[in-house]
Chains A and B, each alone.
Chain A
Amino acid sequence: MQKESVSIVLCGEAGQGLQTVEKLIPKILKREGFNVFTFNDYMSRVRGGSNYLEIRVSSKPLRAFVERIDLLIPLNEGKLDRLNKRISKDTLFVGTENVNCKNLGIDLTKLSGNLPGKLFMNTLAIGFISGLFNVDKELMKREIENYFADKDKELINNNVSLSLIGYRTGNDLLMQKKVVFDIKKNNLKNQVILSGNEAIGLGCLAGDCKFIPSYPMTPGTGLMTFMAQHAKKMGIIVEQSEDEIAAINMALGAWYAGARSIVTTSGGGYDLMQEGMSLAGITESPLVVHLAQRPGPATGLPTRTEQGDLNLALYSGHGEFPRIILAPGNFEDACLVSQLAFDLADKYQVPVFILTDQAFLDQTYNLNIEVKNKVQDHFVKTLKDYKRYDLKNTISPRGIPGFGEGLIGVDSDEHDEEGHITENFDVRIKMMNKRMKKLELIKKEVIKPEIYGDKNYKKLIVCWGSSFNAVKEAVENLGKGYAVLYYKQVYPLHQDTEKILKKAKKIYCVENNFAGQFADLINKETGMKLNKILKYNGLPFSVEELTRGLK
């Protein structure tokens, strides 16, 4: 057990306010100087069920899900069944149930005096945790007041006074040394707390995204919500379309008119968008798709996580055309690649995917973030003799209607240089060659996979997207001989892949899916066979299972 990190799990029904804890605790603890990570596992329902929130507090940044529970705080009784395997004899327990671990003998519901304690369990818990970490009481009060600022005075006062009761209870345990944590404080003044959704959203804003037509689908909706919340301030447009088909066609209309645009969806919604993806291919339109993965097929596990749609991104849309697939593994990269997605789409006139998943989007943690929006537009002012698909260049300069003297014609049919329908076989070959040749240019600008861990690695663990942080922590635990190879761009595959892999004695590929889709892609491109470590129950990899599995 790492002494310098604590894993706290709260559980309760939907509607009990776990979200309030998720929003407030990271803010309070980060301001106090602790690194914080949250992960939630929730059911597909608005009320009831059993949801869990994991909060990791640590001396140094640890940003992955762990099985271990150091402190367990149920907000109601009888919801522990799914946690049984994770509770050990060392787990500290706050509650009245008979659980085989260290019961601290505290009943939060009894602390609320005349107030309905059950309604305020979340606030009591916020106070309790704050007290356990001995945070500045005023700081906690301020954060709670800010959070409930738009509520009536009585409600704010009740929340504050109950948080103070919780605080005293937690703080007493600390003072009596019944609970001992050894978490070091850091200067985190310049750091922010973000969710995956927010990190992607900031990247989109920095990438000059101005039009977001989408249809709600978990977990893709979060990005749409973030953009909508800032739409007025930024002067951008978020439109909830009638369906995903409309969304992607709107995005293509926006790009055609010169507005950078993204659609955000999940697998099922993306299925409907595939015709639009293919349209982007033949019209050589830039397009950015945020494909937020969840377990399928069909409705699958709507609120859980998976990395099962790499092949979907890779092969979707009929016909042959080039594409780019990005898959950030941390929030710094989420912001970076989301911004880059727009530039790459614009520059190469191709669709670009940002592949994320539920676990990644719903996590929160503290980080340094800097956004530079140096945007270079790639559309041109046209002259009278402009031809949209000029064959002189592999990438024909992209004009937009109403900017210059030229006319902009684009066509879903095979077309000539002016965009007019053609069935001329020679033109067809020239246009196909021109479109496919862009892939060769794209390959020259692929983001290099990053290596962490022992430079003289014998065992190399390949991962992509959201699995990165858990693999990285596991490799740090394993130490000598281990390294991670992390891909934030999965397609086209970086050309050094084979060279890097060949240095290892044993290669694993860790993926949150059944088939090992990325390992298969590497095999297809390099001929190398990777050992697959897979998980597809709807949860992300835990640090422990990877540490065990990679030994």
Chain B
Amino acid sequence: MTDKKEFDVVNADIAWCPRCGDFLILSIIKSALAELNMSPENVVLVSGIGQAGKMPQYLRSNFFNGLHGRPIPVATAVKTSNPGLNVIVTSGDGDVYGEGGNHFIHAIRRNPNITILVSNNMIYGLTKGQASPTSQRGFKTPIQTEGVILEPFNPLSTAIALDASFVARAFCGDMEKTKEIIKEAIKHKGLSIVDIFQPCVVFNKVNTYEWFKANTYYLENHNPKDRIEAFRRATETDKLPLGIFYVNNKNTFEENIEAYKIDKKPLFMRRNDQNKIKEIINSKF
């Protein structure tokens, strides 16, 4: 096991508000990486923009803090170019489900062996309190003055409908169970998605720690190989289930790529063969 402190950024000037759920998620990810015996040099965190998008700033590792909505394409390409790296997307609900919604859908189809950890606080924190794709109907904000009238985006049922490889939900208030779920997600071969409920203590006065505690429960005796049941449980709204909903072991994107079928070396260790280029030229005579 790696020392958890290995992942600490010394003198980090953390920009989150006191009691922000992201502090808990940061600590949980560090613990999970340490317990999985990973080293910072072999981990790449990729994020977009938003409060959760700052996660890589505070976790000592390789990182790519890119553009709003775009962590998934970056992470996919990093993993595809060097499958030996452990690539984890850490971003928020606005980033992954809103601005980057198209990438979320197609990453599931592509199935790269990366993990997507979404801090889901049902609000836009960085821009000071507008609705997010997961905000619940009726939720009032300075923009949605009469309350949200859009149906909330359900990342779990969407992912299961697309036959995703690993789909789970956690609540950061329960650090121990969330850590175990994240560890399973990282260990899983294929795209793993963990939607993590995370209270925003400043702008979301509805979905608080207490609210999540009262409105969630853990799946029990659930068979994660049963897709229909997984979908049914993912659509429950009275109380929101937590746990691993669906697991579907299948080949990853990297495994399906011809370039890796013969040669396992990462792309940076290869060189295009001059003789093969000559052969292509010769075919044009």
A: residues with CB less than 8 A from B are 191-194, 198, 202, 205-206, 208-211, 213, 230-237, 239, 241-243, 245-247, 249-254, 256-259, 261, 275-276, 279, 283, 369, 371-373, 375, 377, 379, 400-403, 405-413, 419-421
> Are the C-beta atoms of A408 and B258 separated by less than 8 Å?
no
Complex alpha-carbon distance, A252 and B262, angstroms: 25
A412's contact among B62, B67, B267, B276, by CB below 8 Å, is which?
A: B67
Chain B residues closer than 8 Å to A401, beta-carbon distance: 41-42, 44, 62, 78, 82, 85
> Are the C-beta atoms of B102 and A246 separated by less than 8 Å?
yes
Interface 9-residue window, one of B27-35, B68-76, B134-142, B229-237: B68-76
Chain A residues closer than 8 Å to B257, beta-carbon distance: 237
With most chain A CB atoms within 10 A of its CB, the pick from B41, B46, B65, B268 is: B268
Query: At the interface, yes or no: B152 with Cβ under 8 Å from chain A?
Result: no
> Are the C-beta atoms of B80 and A239 separated by less than 8 Å?
yes
A235's contact among B69, B80, B103, B259, by CB below 8 Å, is which?
A: B259
A407's contact among B40, B85, B267, by CB below 8 Å, is which?
A: B40
> Are the C-beta atoms of A258 and B278 separated by less than 8 Å?
no
Given contacts A257-B266, A421-B57, contact A279 B67 (CB under 8 A): yes
> Are the C-beta atoms of B78 and A211 separated by less than 8 Å?
no
What are 16 A-B interface contacts by the 8 Å CB criterion? Answer: A202-B277, A205-B277, A209-B272, A211-B267, A236-B259, A251-B77, A257-B82, A258-B81, A371-B277, A371-B278, A372-B274, A400-B82, A401-B85, A402-B82, A407-B40, A411-B65
> Are the C-beta atoms of B285 and A192 separated by less than 8 Å?
yes
> Are the C-beta atoms of B80 and A371 separated by less than 8 Å?
no
Given contacts A208-B271, A246-B103, A254-B81, contact A409 B54 (CB under 8 A): no
Complex alpha-carbon distance, A1 and B43, angstroms: 68
B74's contact among A208, A232, A249, by CB below 8 Å, is which?
A: A249
Q: How far is the CB of A85 from chain B (nearest CB, A)?
A: 35
Query: At the interface, yes or no: B239 with Cβ under 8 Å from chain A?
Result: no
> Are the C-beta atoms of A249 and B77 separated by less than 8 Å?
yes
Query: At the interface, yes or no: B49 with Cβ under 8 Å from chain A?
Result: yes
Complex alpha-carbon distance, A210 and B271, angstroms: 9
Complex alpha-carbon distance, A410 and B74, angstroms: 12
Chain B residues closer than 8 Å to A209, beta-carbon distance: 272
Which B residue's beta carbon lies closest to that of A278?
B67
Q: How far is the CB of B50 from chain A (nearest CB, A)?
A: 12
Q: How far is the CB of B52 from chain A (nearest CB, A)?
A: 14
Which A residue's beta carbon lies closest to that of B9?
A420
Given contacts A246-B103, A252-B66, contact A211 B272 (CB under 8 A): no
Known: A206-B272, A257-B266. 9 other contacts (CB 8 A): A191-B285, A205-B272, A234-B273, A243-B102, A245-B73, A371-B278, A402-B82, A402-B266, A412-B66
Chain A residues closer than 8 Å to B69, beta-carbon distance: 245
Q: How far is the CB of A371 from chain B (nearest CB, A)?
A: 5
Given contacts A253-B64, A373-B277, A402-B82, contact A407 B258 (CB under 8 A): no
Given contacts A202-B280, A402-B41, contact A407 B74 (CB under 8 A): no
Which B residue's beta carbon lies closest to that of A279?
B67
Size bin of chain B's contact surface: 35 or more
Query: At the interface, yes or no: B63 with Cβ under 8 Å from chain A?
Result: yes
Query: At the interface, yes or no: B240 with Cβ under 8 Å from chain A?
Result: no
> Are the C-beta atoms of B102 and A242 separated by less than 8 Å?
yes
Q: How far is the CB of B21 from chain A (nearest CB, A)?
A: 20
> Are the C-beta atoms of A234 and B102 separated by less than 8 Å?
no
Which B residue's beta carbon lies closest to that of A206?
B277
Complex alpha-carbon distance, A256 and B79, angstroms: 11
Q: How far is the CB of A418 from chain B (nearest CB, A)?
A: 9
A259's contact among B41, B258, B267, B281, by CB below 8 Å, is which?
A: B267
> Are the C-beta atoms of A254 and B85 separated by less than 8 Å?
no
> Are the C-beta atoms of B267 and A210 separated by less than 8 Å?
yes
Complex alpha-carbon distance, A253 and B73, angstroms: 7
Q: How far is the CB of A299 from chain B (nearest CB, A)?
A: 20
> Are the C-beta atoms of B276 and A192 separated by less than 8 Å?
no
Chain A residues closer than 8 Å to B279, beta-carbon distance: 233
> Are the C-beta atoms of A379 and B281 separated by less than 8 Å?
no
With most chain A CB atoms within 10 A of its CB, the pick from B40, B69, B272 is: B272
Given contacts A231-B259, A253-B76, contact A192 B281 (CB under 8 A): yes
A242's contact among B15, B105, B267, B273, by CB below 8 Å, is which?
A: B105
Complex alpha-carbon distance, A386 and B270, angstroms: 24
Chain B positions 101 through 124: 1 when the CB is less than 8 Å from some CB of chain A, otherwise 0: 011011000000000000000000
Which B residue's beta carbon lies closest to that of A375?
B271
Complex alpha-carbon distance, A234 and B282, angstroms: 15
> Are the C-beta atoms of A257 and B40 separated by less than 8 Å?
no
Chain A residues closer than 8 Å to B81, beta-carbon distance: 210-211, 253-254, 257-259
> Are the C-beta atoms of A258 and B266 separated by less than 8 Å?
yes
Chain B residues closer than 8 Å to A202, beta-carbon distance: 277, 280-281
> Are the C-beta atoms of B60 and A407 separated by less than 8 Å?
yes
Complex alpha-carbon distance, A237 and B75, angstroms: 16
Give residues 238-285 of B contacting A (CB, 8 Å): 257-259, 262-263, 266-268, 270-274, 276-282, 284-285
Q: How far is the CB of A266 from chain B (nearest CB, A)?
A: 20
A253's contact among B40, B75, B84, B270, by CB below 8 Å, is which?
A: B75
